[in-house]
Amino acid sequence: MNLKFPAAVPEIPVSDLKAALDYYESNLGFNVDWGRGEGNIAGISKGDCRMFLTDEFFWGHYRNSPPVMVWLNLDSKEEVNGLYKAWSASQAKIVSPPESKPWKLYEFTVADPDGNLFRIFYDFSRDEGEINS
């Protein structure tokens, strides 16, 4: 069977849904699509990226607790650098700055208030003649 999968939609466990929504919206530039005032789950998006934020009432029985790691694959080093600059200026919690890694990813890491991590990367392994710097 040759089945094409859609984009994954990660569930990010948070301790305080309202505070997390404020951080994702104000510091990371996500849109709050639904769930701001009710329930224990909210949908956020930025471009083609969609995620769910859930509080302990929602995720507790699954034992899906923070921290989790989410990888976001961008299309170029320039996009990685641009997002790093934007998130740095918004007082996002930058864990590590952009750099080329031996595993041929150019990446940086940012955290949310619960310690969930986002690795923002560009895979330069397919670039011909790419210098690892």
Over residues 90-114, the mean pLDDT reads: 96
pLDDT at 132: 47
Evaluate whether residue 77 is within a structural domain: yes
Rounded distance, CA 107 to CA 83, Å?
Answer: 11
- In-domain check, residue 129: no
In a domain, 6, yes or no: no
For residue 69, what is the domain's CATH number? 3.10.180.10
Domain hosting 107: range is 11-123
Tally of domains within the chain: 1
In tens, the pLDDT along 26-58 reads 999 999 999 987 789 999 999 999 999 999 998
Distance between alpha carbon 46 and the CA centroid of its chain, in Å?
Answer: 10
Residue 62: its pLDDT value, please? Answer: 82
The whole-angstrom separation of Cα 40 and Cα 77 is 36
* Residue 128: predicted pLDDT: 61
Residue 39 domain flag: yes
User: Is residue 102 exposed (0-12), middle (13-18) or buried (19+ Cβ within 10 Å)?
Assistant: exposed
The answer as to whether 3 is a domain residue is no
Nearest Cα residue to 93 out of 73, 74, 120, 75: 120
